[in-house]
Amino acid sequence: MSTNDGQDDQGPREPDAEVPLKAPKDEAGAETQKSRLKPVVFFGSAVLILAISIWAIITPAGAENTIGVVVGWITENLGWYYFLVTTIYLVFVVYIAASRYGGIKLGPQHSTPDYSLFAWATMLFAAGIGIDLMFFSVSGPVSHYLAPPEGDPETVEAARQSVVWTLLHYGITGWAMYALMGMALGYFAFRKRLPLAIRSALYPLIGKRIHGRLGDAVDLAAIVGTIFGISVSLGIGVVQLNFGLNFLFGVPEGLAAQIGLVVVAVLMVTVSAVAGVDKGIRRLSELNLIFAVILMLYILILDNPADLLNGLVLNIGDYLSRFPAMTLNTFAYDQPTEWLNEWTLFFWAWWVAWAPFVGLFLARISRGRTIRQFVAATLVIPLLYTLTFLSIFGNSALNTVRAGNTEFGLIAMNTPEQGFYTLLSEYPGLMFSAGLATFVGLLLYVTSADSGALVMANLSSRLPTPTTDAAPWLRIFWSVAISVLTIAMLIVGGVDALSNATIIMGLPFSFVMLLIIWSLYKALRVEGFRQDAFRTTLTPFLSDRSAVESRDARSTWRQRLKRTVNFPNHRSAARFAREVCRPALDEVTAELREQGLEASSEEWADDGTGISQMDLKVSMEGSEDFVYEIGPVVRPTPSFAMRSLSWNDTYVRFEVSLGGSRQGYDVMGYTKEQLISNILDEYERHLEFLRLSREASVSPGASEGGSEADRPPEED
């Protein structure tokens, strides 16, 4: 039998599917309800994106000029801000993971991950990286070698800097943004019973207004910024795949072929939308990783393995040693404006634009992981892969250029979509490697479009649970919308127009992410007070000497052992509810009322078992109410049980939930006095939590005794 570890949060959050809560009364049908559109979010973002697309298609020159002016202003006046804010994101994420809050789970404390480590790791990688990794793995190092932001070109130092600058743009700074959004959204959705939406991450700051127009505005801004970030990847993808198909099969390069590739992506997203996350995105992600590793090993073996591995180790050392200086290098005394626009500022804005999309998707697949596990995996697993991929292909490209192939260097720098395939042509087996690269690129391209469409569909819908996805037709709509915007930006000015638009659209959401930092920290402090309350409450009733003597009079050690190895059936559970639970809750309720408190107790039948479940509620006058709930949970009988079993045998546990949050321990077999003791223990912990929260003034604007983050969410 498990015991309460005291670490679980008792704030509002989505209960586990197997936890019997008040389904017949207040959550009836929640799991079977269909998703509903958020009209303001859906129509507002759709109209805005359509208007921008039409404007770009009708007046491409005017759109290009306007975008250029705005980007110039941002670079001149707010370039420093992008450097500073991205560093803040990274420091905060690492601090939270390393702190006492790192052990908090994205879900109930007893919950387990939904996906295996391999499947989870592949989705982590594939969701956050698209075909652009192939695009920049060659063009990035070559461009920085031939035209570095500082220092002389085509030197040993330029070669070392070239790979490290590329690693910086694809390193932990960007993944920290994903980790920030992922842990915030996962925490509020799976631990606080809030919708899996960007607005939920601001609940401690704006309270129930997340369900109103303010929340709609946050989600709308996230969708608009995200769709530009995704369009950059898809724009890069269609340009590179178009060249790859021309390279392999002679398909003409141009807008017509690129539109055809966009249509293919929409069709594949349609198939994946019908298949769902498990059979769609997960399978594509696993294929991505496997084939990309094969391609990387192919180049490693055919080139000089020792030379490339030496370069890899050197790049790792340079990245670790130079990272602090490079991440805040604004080039204040001699600023390479054009280089900053094309590289660092673009990449930071691009990561910001992708952060709500990838963060929400990562939260969706990371339920049951601790914050520390989530942050470590998000920062380390993709970094190890991208570092290896960029180092191998980047150093291969540098070796080719430094060996005297200047033509290749100019191609990689000036027409980056051709760089990857041109590098492959330097090795034998070109048809195999180019074909594999095209296939990997297509999978990365489709995965980005697929997961992006899923996230935006979820953001524009009201979903009954955080693990529910929006209707397939809505995912298809957003895949079409992404495609239309991508085509519009390609008409305006190709990849450059998409890059500049991303710098603009990423700026507003970067401010939202700062608010999310503040909001998440407030909520985690409240979580810390809960843990403190558990540790500092009075010694439990059963450890008191008189209680032990009383217990021994009623229940010998043999009876205690019998309870430990007993796996009761439905009949025993029903009798326990009737003869122990109901009298215990009635007596405590009556005594609380005698003390002048507003207490009530209710009983209802569990849908799955028909056994009674019940609760005790104490109103706390503006602070978070104390809600002690107890009910049956059916579990498979373990194989070590002391009787003959079949695999289908089940038994019934009576588990405690506090404020809708299951605590994971079983009280089946307690006497009435022991159950009353447990109720009082939890009540004392709740009072201690409210005291600690009040004294620390966690939320200055909240009412005395609790924080906005812990009050049950109300929908306007």
pLDDT, tens digit, for every residue of 206-216? 888 888 888 88
**Looking at residues 116-121, what average pLDDT do you find?**
80
Mean pLDDT across 272-277: 59
pLDDT at residue 276, rounded to an integer: 55
Q: What's the rounded mean pLDDT across residues 417-421?
A: 90
In angstroms, the Cα distances linking 93 to 175, 302, 365, 517, 630 are 10, 40, 19, 9, 36
Cα-to-chain-centroid distance, residue 394:
29
Residue 244 has pLDDT above 80, yes or no: yes
pLDDT at 692: 77
pLDDT of 260 over the 70 cut: yes
Question: Binning pLDDT at 50, 70 and 90, where does residue 68 land?
Answer: confident
Between residues 112 and 496, which one has the greater pLDDT? Answer: 112
* Rounded-to-integer distance, Cα 204 and Cα 198, Å: 13
In the predicted structure, residue 94 carries a pLDDT above the cut 50: yes
Share of the chain above pLDDT 70, in %: 83
- Taking the C-alpha atoms of residue 648 and residue 615, their distance in angstroms, rounded to an integer, is 30
* pLDDT reading at 45 higher than 80: yes
Q: How far is CA 525 from CA 94, 96, 138, 624, 709, in A?
A: 16, 11, 45, 16, 10
**What's the pLDDT score for residue 88?**
97
CA 692, chain centre distance (Å): 30
- For the chain, where do the domains classified as CATH 1.20.1740 start and end? 36-95+117-186+230-528
CA R_g for the chain: 29
Q: Please state the rounded mean pLDDT for residues 239-259.
A: 86
Q: What is the CATH number of domain 36-95+117-186+230-528?
A: 1.20.1740
Which has the higher per-residue pLDDT, 655 or 445? 655
Q: Does residue 539 surpass a pLDDT of 50?
A: no
Residue 299 has pLDDT above 90, yes or no: yes
Amino acid 466: pLDDT: 72
Alpha-carbon torsion, ordered 156, 158, 161, 167, to 10 deg: -110
pLDDT of residue 298: 93
Measured CA angle at 90 (ends 85, 92), to 5 deg: 95
Q: Does the pLDDT at position 629 exceed 80? A: yes
Evaluate whether 463 touches 196 at the Cβ level (below 8 Å): yes
User: How many of the other CB atoms lie within 10 Å of CB of 473?
Assistant: 10
More confident residue, 711 or 358: 358
> Can you give the pLDDT at residue 671?
85
Contact 457, 469 (CB under 8 A): yes
SS3 150: coil
Q: How do 461-462 and 626-636 pair as beta strands? A: unpaired
